[in-house]
Every structure is written in C-alpha cells, then in structure tokens.
Structure 1
C-alpha cells in the first residue's frame, strides 16, 4: 500500500475544521491514497458536527471523537494508532504551517529518514512563546543532556511503523520530540514556512509551556536527581563545618541558626526533587490509558472505548402506563 495519512488534532475548532479540510485537499489531494483523520479532543463546541458533515461528503476523511479532553498527546497517539497509510503527516487545524509544506518534509524523508521535523523559518507566535520554547529546548540539550531536535515543531512526517511504536511506548510523558531518539536515529529537521492563525486567537498558555518543560526535564533526564544528591552532600558538609566551628567557638550562635535555616531549605529542595522522580517511576510502572473513544467512523479497538466496542445499554425507562399515572 502507498499513500499518506494526515493526522489533524482538533479542540474547539468549529468551522475551522472545514477550512483545514479544504486546505489539506488542495495541497495533498493529488496523492492517490490520501487519508485524513480528524481527532476531536473532547471539544465543547460544534467541532464534531463539522467532522461528521465533512466525512459524509469526502470518503477520504475519518474522524475520532474522545469521551473527554485527554490532551494533544492523546489525540496524536490516536491518530498514529489508526492511520492506515505507510506515511503520516501531523498537521494543525489552525493552518499555521500551510499543508503544502508537507512536500518539503516528504522530499527529505525520501532520503532515508524515519522522522522529519519541520522547523519554523520565521515564527508568527507571541514573543513569550518563542523565548520559552527556545529556552527550554536549550536547557534540555545543554544542561540536562536530553536529545531534542532543535527547533522541532509539531509539524512532522513519520513512517507509520515508527509513529505507532512511539504511540505505544509505555511512558507517561507527553513530550513527543524527546521520544523519537529513543526509537530511531534516522531523523532530521528542515525549515518550513509559518504563518499566523487563520482564525481565533493564539492557544498559547505560559503554564502549558511550563508543564511541557516540567515533563521534559523530569521524564527524560536524571541530572536533576543527581543535582539533588550534590545539594544534600554540600548541605551536610556545611552543617558539619558549622557544628565544628561552633564547638571550637569560632562560629557564633547566630551563624549556627542561619546555617540550620539554609540546611532546612536545601533539604526541602532535595525532598521535592526526589518525590517528583518517585512520582515518575510510579506512573511509568502503572500507565493509564491515553484516551477513550466515544464516536468514530473507523473500526476502533474495543479496549479504546468505554463500552468495549458494543452499543451502550440505555437506562431503564418507566413503562408508558406508569409514566401516565406518574404524570397525572
């Protein structure tokens, strides 16, 4: 089989779903075996209705709707799992990366790569987002030794087997770019064009970016834990030196109190770092399901649904005559 699957996560995109579909078809419709999978990540607007309407008109369109909002990583995983073509491109419904840039990534993938990331030649994002993204990627590579393709965006082309392997990794960490080097060394990045959102405002949230950095630092590096050990050793050495100095009459009681306060603060830091790594180990040992599907026009796995793939049983209803008596 040949062809390409376009995976498009959506959350409260509404009419933008139709705009994205039109742009994807215009750019990639010449591919004979094109498949488009829209994933509704628990939207509270009419996103799902638009997906149904488009799927009814275009046989290349598939859709998956979650039972609630599970997050972008879950939406990507679902798209990767159910893609039926040998190559996959991940696109955003906001069209910040024009779908025709997919050809740039496909041309690079033809050189033998499993994954090709698009990097933004000129970013049309808020300044805080640009600085934050660059800062936490730099910290990951330089300070924590996490291998992350510099400038890698969510726009990427992957071989389907690699994408499914990434989706099935038993890791409770959503940072996709850092998972790729764990699976393959055949990845690269190329520059692509970038534009402002065609509709709506920016979805950027500083706390969300901070959460991604948090996942990256604790999920893929042990250096922070090693730093905790070093802090504990330094605190113990300082405490011992101050104690000896106090016994010899060199350090005043105020100095002892200050050293004790500093030592307590460092102890709290060490405990917090250690607890976070313990939390990571517990999550990795007992991974939760990434998502549950409420509706789809695909044949989904029973374990990916709340009802095991069988129709939901309706609740008991009051018999008609009883209902009449009850109403009277």
Structure 2
C-alpha cells in the first residue's frame, strides 16, 4: 500500500480551512491515495462547520473535533494516530509553507529517512518570533545538550509507524522536533519556501514560545537541575568557609549573614527546580488522555471519546403535567 496523509491542525482557522483544502488538493491531488485530516482543536469560531462542509464534498477529507482546546501537541498526536497511509505530512492551515513543498520533503525521504524536517530558506515571520526561535534552538543544543534538528520547523514528512510511536510516547511535551531523535537516527532537514501569512490572525504569542522553551528545559534535559545543585553546593561551601572565618575572628559577621542569605536563596531555587521536575513526572504519569474527541467522520477508538463510543444519552425531561398526561 502507498499513499500520503496530510495532517492539518486547526485552531480558530475558519477563514483558512477552505483555502488550505484547495491548496493541498492542488499540490497533492495527483497522489492516488491521498487523505487529508483536519483537526479542530476546540475552536470557538466556525472552523468545524467548514470542515464538515468540505468533508461532505470531498471523500478524501477526514476531520476530528476535540471536546475542548487540548493544544497543538494533542492535535498533531490525533492526526498521527488516525492517519491511514504509510507516509504523513504535517501542514499548517495558514499556508505559510506552500503544500507543493511537500514534494521536496518526499524526495528527500525516498533516500531512506524516517523523518524529514523542512527548514525555511527565507523566513517571513515577525522579528521577535525569528529571534525567539533561533535562541530557543541555540539554547537546546548548546546549553541543554538536547539533540534538535537545526532549523527544523513544524513542516515535516514522517513514516507513519514513526509518527505513531512519537504520538504514543509517554511525554507530556509538545516539542516534536526533540522527540524524533529519541526514536530514530534516520532524520534530516531540507530547505523549503516560506511566505507571509495571507489571511487570518497569527496564533504566535511570545508567552507561548516561552512556554515551549520551558517545556524543553524541563522535559528533555537534567542540566538546569544539575547546575542548580552545583551552584547551591558552591554557595554552601562558601558560607561554611565564611562561618569558620568568623569563628576564628577573620571575617566580619555581616559577610557571614550575607552569605547565609545567598545560600538560602539558592537553596530555594533548587527546591523550586526540583518541584518543577516532579511536576513534569506527574504530568507524564497522569491517566488523563492527551485529547478527547467530540466529533469525527472517522472510526475513532472508544477510549478517545468521552462517551466510550456510545451515543450520548439525553438528560431526563420534565414530566408532563398531570392534566396533560396521556396515560391518565
């Protein structure tokens, strides 16, 4: 069996869904076995209505709608899980990467790679976003020792078994670019075209990028905690030396007090970092699923729905008044 599944996460992309569908079909419609999965991540606009309408017209289109907003990682995971073809391409509904660039990634994947990431030849994003992304990847590789494909974007082609393995990893972390090297060494990058968003509103927020950096720090590297331990140990040693000096009359009491306060502050930092790592472990072990599906035109797993695949039971209705009781 051959074929390709295009996975398109959407959040409040009502203005873009139809345009994304047209662009994908225009670029990839020549593939005999083409599937397009739109994932509605709990949108509050008319994204789901557009998905339903497109699926009714095009038998290649599948859609999944979550019961609430679970985040980009959950949307990607759902698409990877329910893709039916051996190759998957992840696309964005904003069309900043033209879908026809998929052929560039597929040609590279044919050389024997499991994952091929697109890197932007010229990036048409706000300066703050470009600087944040560059700093994010530099910190990952240089400071934290996390293996991340340099310049990797969310535009990627994967073998379906690898994609599903990534989706099922017990890691409550959205950073797929750092997950791929954990399961395969057969990955690479290739330059692709990038363009400015043509319509709709960008979902980029500085706080969101900061949150991804935070997840990277605590989800893939122990270096922050090890560094904090080392600094706290050095501070404690300095405080102890100053205390001995004070007892011998060689150091002023004020210096000892300042050192003690500094040591206490660093100890508090270590405790906070330890608590954050513990929180990460608890999230990874939580029984709560990554997402719950409220509606789909796919046969979804019962455990991925709130009702276990059984139609929802309507609530009890107000009993008819006695005078209108037909059984009297």
Q: Same fold judged by TM-score > 0.5? A: yes
The answer to whether the 8 Å contact 1:102/1:157 transfers is yes
Residue 311 of structure 2 aligns to a residue in which SS?
coil
Number of equivalences = 328
Displacement after TM superposition at 1:104 (Å): 0.3
Note closer, same or farther for the CA distance 1:34–1:275 as it changes in structure 2 (3 Å cut): same
Displacement after TM superposition at 1:322 (Å): 5.5
CA–CA distance in structure 1, aligned partners of residues 170 and 323 of structure 2: 51
Structure 1 moving runs of 4+ over 6 Å: 323-328
What per-residue deviation string (whole Å, max 9, x for no partner) do you get for residues 174-198 of structure 1? Answer: 1111110111000000000101111
The answer to whether the 8 Å contact 1:171/1:287 transfers is no
Note closer, same or farther for the CA distance 1:122–1:37 as it changes in structure 2 (3 Å cut): same
The answer to whether the 8 Å contact 1:228/1:274 transfers is no
CA–CA distance in structure 2, aligned partners of residues 189 and 49 of structure 1: 36
Displacement after TM superposition at 1:253 (Å): 1.7
TM-score, scaled relative to structure 1: 0.97
Residue 22 of structure 1 aligns to a residue in which SS?
helix
Task: Report the RMSD for the aligned CA atoms in angstroms.
Answer: 2.1
Displacement after TM superposition at 1:285 (Å): 2.9
Displacement after TM superposition at 1:321 (Å): 4.0
Displacement after TM superposition at 1:200 (Å): 2.0
Displacement after TM superposition at 1:15 (Å): 2.9
Note closer, same or farther for the CA distance 1:31–1:323 as it changes in structure 2 (3 Å cut): farther
The answer to whether the 8 Å contact 2:15/2:199 transfers is no
CA–CA distance in structure 1, aligned partners of residues 323 and 298 of structure 2: 39
Residue 265 of structure 1 aligns to a residue in which SS?
helix
What per-residue deviation string (whole Å, max 9, x for no partner) do you get for residues 21-51 of structure 1? Answer: 0000000000000000000000001100000
CA–CA distance in structure 2, aligned partners of residues 125 and 2 of structure 1: 35
Displacement after TM superposition at 1:254 (Å): 1.5
The answer to whether the 8 Å contact 2:5/2:84 transfers is yes
Note closer, same or farther for the CA distance 1:327–1:263 as it changes in structure 2 (3 Å cut): farther
Displacement after TM superposition at 1:323 (Å): 9.8
**Correspondence list, 1:11-30, <5 A:** 11-30=11-30
Residue 158 of structure 2 aligns to a residue in which SS?
strand
Residue 158 of structure 1 aligns to a residue in which SS?
strand
Residue 321 of structure 2 aligns to a residue in which SS?
helix
Displacement after TM superposition at 1:327 (Å): 19
CA–CA distance in structure 1, aligned partners of residues 23 and 291 of structure 2: 28
What per-residue deviation string (whole Å, max 9, x for no partner) do you get for residues 240-280 of structure 1? Answer: 11101111112112212211221121111111111111222
